[in-house]
Chain A
Amino acid sequence: SQTIHQWPATLVQPVGSPLSLECTVEGTSNPNLYWYRQAAGRGLQLLFYSVGIGQISSEVPQNLSASRPQDRQFILSSKKLLLSDSGFYLCAWSVSEVKLFFGSGTQLSVL
């Protein structure tokens, strides 16, 4: 069966520090991968999605970036975090056009 791993679960970082969140999927090949952010009291915002290795589409201009170095690995990064980067970050995958499966999420607090 397919599983998705996302870490860390919680992260507290100072403003201006770098960020790296990692997500891996097991049990499937060539998944579509996504990063979503959920700010407090708001809905989910799609940040990036990838349909293959090295293929990244950005939905929202920001100081975040994403990379897909391997088929089932998706990384969210920042060189310098802003206060506004705080939120709940969710990785997700799909292999068809039907539905997304979400990871457990990372609660990021930028102080």
Chain B
Amino acid sequence: NAGVTQTPKFQVLKTGQSMTLQCAQDMNHEYMSWYRQDPGMGLRLIHYSVGAGITDQGEVPNGYNVSRSTTEDFPLRLLSAAPSQTSVYFCASRRQGGNQPQHFGDGTRLSIL
């Protein structure tokens, strides 16, 4: 199993550009999430999904869109990039129920100029 795969690992954008961060998992996990990690602020939840076709907002959803057309994929779209979105982004997945932990991808470092 590859686990959770995120692409790209690094990206530089100009203000106003749009892009999609890809996330795929091969563990048949029901739950998938996107987090951003900023210095001194830990990980903050952007959006999450409890299954194909179902998404919901987390703590910091503004400026981001998600969709979940399949169990495996959960892309994160930046509609119009802003410097405040410069961050490291993590995708995570987990199995439903109990004390299941999150399994994380390796992260995407995104810089908005």
Decide if A and B are genuine partners.
no
Interface residues of A (CB under 8 A from B): none
Interface residues of B (CB under 8 A from A): none
